[in-house]
Structures are given as structure tokens and as C-alpha cells.
Structure 1
């Protein structure tokens, strides 16, 4: 039984997500204490609880402490079972953070897994679904891991109501990830999404125009779309497709936040990511760590964040993989 201290490092939900994932993959029971210790309201929130319950269902785990506000949970997996699963998150809990927990688990099922997750598709403190589709899934393909995601309905804060279908295929032939050079930018794909309530104000177009004003030196394919949602909201994601990699940046609309600021935020972020010369953006650097721990490899990231360092620490509690961080190069060697 591994005991993981949730107050380590950045002390957020990432420790919980990665611990449960690796517990499932190694078949090793774990106890996670001090969950989200650094947050104003520590313990499990509804989205964390739904992610844990889904993981427990998929790997037939025995559990303790699964309730809202719980600061200690026990998770004892048995076997990972493929099939169809539904994960209903009330209000605007993050769909993409649920995917962070479940995708690596489902990749190790003997049969294809189909997930239907409802909640917030594009919400604060998590990647947008466009980022998942453009960046995350394309980087996974380089390790021969295949995940197909479809947004059936968008959901923004506060009501959520979005729906995503994810089809995760068995990871049959793993490949180490060696990604240290991104190569030249070939194109930038933009998804500028706004609730239909905002169409008259041309929010999607204004977001895209502001983005293009900053990164006019690149070929940009902007898709502006208006969607039916339970409440107003908007999101923006730009993915730079390079010769060897894909880097992304996203931003969210909020009340009293001009559409132009949303597009400009993403542009400034992506510009910095590209200027770093690294093969992965900062957020992908966080998300890739559990996969590197499983297959090994070497990547360059624009910045090694506290999330990344914490994720490495969690992986080392479960696996014998040796991580080396040299400035912005991360190397993982399997034993």
C-alpha cells in the first residue's frame, strides 16, 4: 500500500489524479492524504469525486473516503475492464480533468473503452476540449496511443451541461516519446467558440481577429462557431502544428472581459511557447509526465512548472522510472 501525501509540492488535485491513475495501472492499492491541502476549500469537490468513482468502476476498485470534502481516500484496484461508461458531472465540473484521470487507465483495458462525460467542456483551471483534441491526442499518437474525442455539446461555467464522447483504444504497442525539436510552424488552427447568446456581438470573430493581430506572421485557419449552451460563455484555443509537434494555448471568456482580450491572451501565450523553441508547451509538459513514466523518453518543454515537478514526484512513488530534469529537458529512463 502506497501512502501519498497530497500536501506535497503544489498540493492540488493533480496529486490525486496521478496517484489514482498509477494505482490502477500498477495494481497497487494507495491511500492519499491531505487532499488539495493548499486550496481554500480542501478535500474532494464534486468533479474529483466523479472522476474517482469512474476510475473505481473501470478498474473494479474497492474504495474508502469517497465523499465531498474528504481529505483522505483509499483506492484498491483489481482489474481494468473495457466497455461503455457514463460520467455525469453536475454543473460545470471539468470534463477534461476527468479525462486526465481516465485516459491512461482506459488505454490499458483489453477492449476499447467509450466514455460519455457531461459537465463543463471549457472551464477555468483546466484545458479546453479543443486543446485536448488538437494537442493532447496528437502527442499521444506519437507514443502509439489512440484516443478520439468528440464534443457533442459545449458547456461553460456556471451551468455546464456539456457532453463529450471519448473512444480510447487499447495501447498495444507502446513507443517511447522522443520529442526535443518541434521544427518549423506549418500552420495554426484556431477554434473560437461562443454561446449562441453572443452571436449578435460577434464574439467568436472578435476573439480570432485579436489573435491574428498578434501572430500575423503565421498562416492561421480560424474556425469561428456559435453553439447552443445553457448559459453565455466563450473559449478560444490555438494549436500550432509544427513539423514534429503540436503546441497549444487557450483562453476563456468571462463577464466584463472583452472578446479581444480573450484572443490576445491566447496569442501572447502561444507566442511565448513558440519563442522558447521547445517541443512541448508548458501544460503538455505537465500532462505528459505519467506517460513518460510508463514508456520512457526525452522531451523539451517551454517551462518546468510546479505541477510538472509534483507529477514527477508522484510517478516516482509508484514506478522505478528515473527522471532527470536539465533546465527545460525532461528525460525518463525505465528500469
Structure 2
């Protein structure tokens, strides 16, 4: 049995999610202790619990003590994930994107194609956005051999959730490593300014205009599509931009709306964070920096890529691939090096 301290490193729900996913891939029993011990609401939250239950269902496993608030669980997978169609509702505005990113590695190594329909939050603070996953993370994973179709069926926001995504994944076999030492020149910036039930306040227009204004002050132009949605369960907004580079890399930035956060402040935030990451010269943005590590650990060969900064999430995911996979990792300045195990 592998024992993982859920309070180590970032101490976040990421430890629970990826630990259960990697245990499912490897067919190993795990115990996770001190789950989110340092957080305001320690233990499992609804979104973490749903991931555990999904992995249990996919791999015909057994889990003990899995309930909201649990600070320790034991999980034993029953076998490799075969693929197929599944649907889960988190039941809150918890992140469907974090859930999708957890289940995706299992689908990559399934015996047949997979389809997931997930309901919950799509745009919120402290979680990747649906647009960032679709337009930034997935193009990198495509380079590694991961084939994913990702559709936003309905936006979902805090507090009601109710957003829906559909994810279709083809089995990948062995993953290929990445070699992304340099950023390259920014040649195209695109984006999406989404608002739901806020047409009269011109939220999409205002976010897009402010973002373009700030980017323009640094010499960049952006094409930002404005979407005025009426399908979500509540009012909400999100802005995302993403840029391609001459070396085939992608860099993104995004922010969700919330009460008291002006459209203009969202536009400025997204543009300024994008500029911050671009100015580091890193090949990836601050979000993809940790999201690629699991795939690099599973790939065949050495993955190298430069990141804007070494964050707790980067350190946490490096620790997890070392603990579970035995992958060798190095940090040299802002360059990550991960020697994958060639998992199949």
C-alpha cells in the first residue's frame, strides 16, 4: 500500500485527485491521510469525493470512508479502466475541469474510447477554466499523442453550478515526451469573452475592450469573440485569452467573474497576467506548468519545458510522479526535466 500525506506540499485537493488517478492506472492500493488538513474546510469536498467515486466506478474499485469531510480514505482499484460512456453530476459548482483533468490520464490508457459528461462549475476562481483546457492544455497534449474532443454544452458558475462539458478521448498507447525550452514569438492572440444573462450590462464587450486596451499598450493585438449566453442556470462571466507562438507553444490567461468584480478589472487582470508570463520567456504559462507533469511522468522519454515560476502546484505534481511512478525529475532554474516511465 502507498501512503500519501494529503497535507504535504500544496496540501490541496490536487493530491487527492491525482493520487487516486495514478493508483487506478497502476492498480495499487493507497491510503491518503490528512486530506486538505490546512484548509479552511478540511477533508474531502463534494468535487473531490465525486472524483474518487468516478475512479472507483471506472476501475471497479473499493473505497473506504469516502464522504464529504473525510480526512482519510483508503482506495483499492479493481482493474484497469476499459473505456466507455459515463456521466457524473458533482452536485455543486465544484470544478468539472479539475475532474476532467483527473480522469483524462485513465482514458488515455483505456482499451477503447471514452466519453465523459460532467456537470458542475466551469468557470470559478482557484480552478482551471474550460477555455484554458480546450485552447491551451489540450493542444500540448495532442503533441504527446492524446486525442481529445472537448465541448462546452452549458456554462456553469458559482454558486449554482449546473454547467456541462462533454469529453471524448481516444486511447493513446505510449505518450511522447515534449521538448519546450523556448517560448518563440507570439504570433496570434485570440480569446473569448463570455457572459450569461448579462447582455444589458454589456459585460462581454467591456471585458474584451479593456483586455484589448491593455494588450495594445504592450504592442499586442487580440481577436476576442464575444458570447452572450442565455442557457446557464444563473448570471456569470468569464474571459480567456490564448496565444500561439512560432515554436508551436500556447500561452493563456483567464479569469471568472463574481459579484463586485467589474468587467474592466477582469479584462485588465487577464491581460496583465498574460504579459507577466510572456515576459518570463517561458514556453508555457503558469497553469500548464503543473498540468503537464502527470503526462510527462507517464510518457516514454525525457520531457523538458521552461515555466514562468516554480509554484507549490509544480512541486506537488513532481512529488506525486516520483512517489507513484518512480519518475526522475529535476528543476534547473525555471526548466523542468521529467524522465517518464513509458507507461502503457
TM-score (normalizing by structure 2): 0.95
Q: Does residue 317 in structure 1 map to residue 323 in structure 2? A: yes
Q: Does residue 218 in structure 1 map to residue 220 in structure 2? A: yes
Deviation at 1:51, TM superposition (A): 1.1
Map of 1:240 onto structure 2: 243
Map of 1:270 onto structure 2: 274
After the TM superposition, which parts of structure 1 deviate over 2 Å for at least 4 consecutive aligned residues? none
Map of 1:191 onto structure 2: 192
Aligned residues: 334
State the superposition RMSD in angstroms.
1.1
Deviation at 1:286, TM superposition (A): 1.2
Q: Quick one: distance in 2 between partners of 1:201 and 1:274?
A: 31
Structure 2 residues without counterparts, runs of 5 or longer: none
Q: Quick one: distance in 2 between partners of 1:132 and 1:190?
A: 13
Per-residue deviation, residues 92-132 of structure 1 (Å, max 9, x unmatched): 11111101210111111011100000011111210110001
Q: Does the Cα contact within 8 Å between 1:55 and 1:101 map onto a contact in 2? A: no
Q: Does the Cα contact within 8 Å between 2:46 and 2:92 map onto a contact in 1? A: no
Deviation at 1:194, TM superposition (A): 0.4
Deviation at 1:152, TM superposition (A): 0.4
Q: Does the Cα contact within 8 Å between 1:207 and 1:262 map onto a contact in 2? A: yes
SS in 2 for 1:208: helix
SS in 1 for 2:213: helix
Q: Does the Cα contact within 8 Å between 2:297 and 2:325 map onto a contact in 1? A: yes
Structure 1 residues without counterparts, runs of 5 or longer: none
Map of 1:207 onto structure 2: 207
Instruction: Give the stretch that moved more between structures: 215-224 or 300-309.
Output: 215-224
Q: Quick one: distance in 1 between partners of 2:180 and 2:114?
A: 28
- Of 324, 332, 336, 1:326 maps to 332
Per-residue deviation, residues 278-306 of structure 1 (Å, max 9, x unmatched): 11111111111111111131111111101
Q: Quick one: distance in 1 between partners of 2:225 and 2:73?
A: 43
Give the 5 Å matches for 1:115-264. 115-195=116-196, 197-216=197-216, 217-228=219-230, 229-243=232-246, 244-264=248-268
Per-residue deviation, residues 233-273 of structure 1 (Å, max 9, x unmatched): 10011101112200111111111211000011000000011
Q: Does the Cα contact within 8 Å between 2:296 and 2:338 map onto a contact in 1? A: yes
TM-score (normalizing by structure 1): 0.97
Q: Quick one: distance in 2 between partners of 1:18 and 1:323?
A: 17
Map of 1:93 onto structure 2: 94
Deviation at 1:173, TM superposition (A): 4.2
Q: Does residue 287 in structure 1 map to residue 291 in structure 2? A: yes
